[in-house]
């Protein structure tokens, strides 16, 4: 798909392997800057050195520190920090625990029957059923 879009936009496409420092060093490019591409598509994080070797017109599909918003555990941690600082503005996501580090706090929020502490529906004494979404770290 990336190749099709690049072709339609008249981008120059060249498949290359980068070195471990994020640059491609050739006789024509002793400093590692490679000027033969417009867009570089990466499946993994990009090194700072790769960014340093880019030309000003070149674009990539990642940016430094993007895991802070794309990994659910990092996003949850940052949302909870913002919720503590701005509770009215950050009330749009469910109560979240990062396990196993917050397992004790997680357990304290539930009674012996599995109901959420204080979660009673319409004045009845029955506990509201609880649904958990579990997302293992660094997995799809």
- 93 in any annotated domain: no
Residue 27 belongs to domain spanning = 1-63
- 71 in any annotated domain: no
Least Cα distance to 22 among 31, 13, 9 occurs for 31
Give the residue-averaged pLDDT of 81-106: 90
- 76 in any annotated domain: no
What was the pLDDT predicted at 65?
A: 77
Give the residue-averaged pLDDT of 88-113: 83
- 117 in any annotated domain: no
Output the pTM of the full model: 0.52
What was the pLDDT predicted at 30?
A: 54
Q: For the chain, what is the domain count? A: 1
37's tokens: 């591409």
Which tens digit of pLDDT belongs to each residue from 67-88?
Answer: 777 788 888 899 999 999 999 9
- 133 in any annotated domain: no
């Amino acid at each position: 798909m990336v190749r099709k879009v690049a072709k339609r936009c008249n981008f120059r496409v060249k498949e290359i392997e980068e070195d471990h420092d994020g640059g491609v060093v050739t006789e024509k490019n002793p400093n590692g800057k490679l000027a033969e591409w417009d867009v570089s598509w990466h499946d993994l994080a990009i090194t700072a050195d790769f960014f340093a070797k880019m030309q000003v017109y070149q674009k990539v599909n990642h940016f430094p520190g993007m895991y802070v918003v794309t990994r659910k555990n990092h996003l949850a941690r940052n949302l909870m920090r913002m919720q503590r600082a701005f509770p009215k503005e950050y009330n749009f996501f469910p109560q979240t625990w990062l396990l196993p580090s917050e397992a004790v706090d997680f357990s304290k929020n539930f009674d012996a029957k599995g109901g959420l502490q204080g979660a009673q529906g319409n004045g009845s004494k029955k506990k509201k059923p609880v649904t958990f979404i579990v997302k293992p770290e660094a997995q799809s």
